[in-house]
Structure 1
Amino acid sequence: MNVELGPLKPEPAELIVGLACFFLMFWLLGRRILPRIDRVQADRRDATEGREECAEELRTEAELVRRTRERELADARHEAARIRQEAAEQGAAAIAAAREEGVRERDRLVAEANARIAVDQALAAVTLRQDVGELAVELAGRVVGESVSAVAARRGTVERFFDER
């Protein structure tokens, strides 16, 4: 082995020990240290990218929950509007029923009052006829100077007068 290496001129024993140490270190790096480094880098990548994926999943889930809540709120608003509409319709129906009942009651009271007025009018007319007849007979007696009530009663003058009217 006559190789010209210039000023280095290594000793063959040192070269063999150096190469053995180099390959031993290369083997240790390849078998022990580099897999650990890869594992640590993978853990870091999982920690960072995994967090991003987890955050994206959480964001997607939150968006789904938000949409669900909005849908529920819209349904609740529709239900509230329907209930308000039903209440308004029921209120209008109750008012109409009360108004109808009031009109019936009014008509009944007016009919009773009209009947009472008609009875009172008839009684008043009878009483008035009697009083007018008596007053007319009394006045005729004063004018004539003697009582004409017997003659008026016998002839039915006052009744005939009112019957002609």
Structure 2
Amino acid sequence: MSTFFPQAHDHTNSSNSYGPSHEWRIDGAVEQAEQLRAAAAQHADYEAVLAEARHDAARTRRRAHEEGVALIVAARATGLHEREEILAAGAALIEAERTATEAQLRAEADIWALEPAERLLGEPIGASADGARTAD
């Protein structure tokens, strides 16, 4: 059984495996690590901006919904008020027409009732009779 002992390397000698090419690989790795850190920081900034944009969009949607509900409520109230005004005006018009029609029918009913009665009796009745009596 053999035991493994790592060999000691002389770092001062440039002919071994840790020479200038090794330093270039370290410098390249450090540069790549710095680029990755910068990219990660840029990504984090992007994520923060994106999260804020999502929150703004959510607030805008909520506000739009609330304003829409308020507009619907206001329109409904306005519609109900206008409906009540229309119904009141219609009821007043119907009442006025009913009263006028009723008065007209009373006058015509008196005439329709008096004429046959006068023909039956052979003499004037009512207002026409008063006029005939005063003439006598």
TM-score, scaled to structure 1: 0.62
User: Percent identity over the alignment?
Assistant: 31
Whether 1:79 aligns to 2:79 is: no
Aligned to 1:100: 77
CA apart distance, 1:55: 0.8
Structure 1: which 5+ residue stretches go unaligned? Answer: 1-33, 155-165
Aligned to 1:113: 90
Query: 1: CA distance between counterparts of 2:62 and 2:130?
Result: 77
TM-score, scaled to structure 2: 0.74
Query: 2: CA distance between counterparts of 1:142 and 1:76?
Result: 97
- Runs of 4 or more above 2 Å deviation: 41-46, 142-147, 149-154
Q: Could you give the per-residue CA deviations for residues 99-125 of structure 1, whole angstroms, max 9, x where no partner exists?
A: 111111111111111111111111111
Whether 1:141 aligns to 2:118 is: yes
Structure 2: which 5+ residue stretches go unaligned? Answer: 1-11, 132-136
Query: 2: CA distance between counterparts of 1:85 and 1:63?
Result: 33
Query: 2: CA distance between counterparts of 1:132 and 1:48?
Result: 121
Query: 2: CA distance between counterparts of 1:100 and 1:109?
Result: 14
What is the aligned-residue RMSD (CA, Å)? 2.4
- Which has more helix, going by share of residues? 1
Q: How do residues 23-62 of structure 1 correspond to structure 2 at under 5 angstroms?
A: 37=14, 43-62=20-39
How many corresponding residue pairs? Answer: 118
Partner of 1:68: helix, strand, or coil? helix
Task: Point out which structure has higher relative CO (alpha carbons under 8 A, 6+ apart).
Answer: 1
Query: 1: CA distance between counterparts of 2:24 and 2:119?
Result: 135
CA contact (8 A) 1:138 1:149 kept: no
CA apart distance, 1:142: 2.9
Task: Give 1 or 2 for the bigger CA radius of gyration.
Answer: 1
Aligned to 1:16: none
Aligned to 1:122: 99
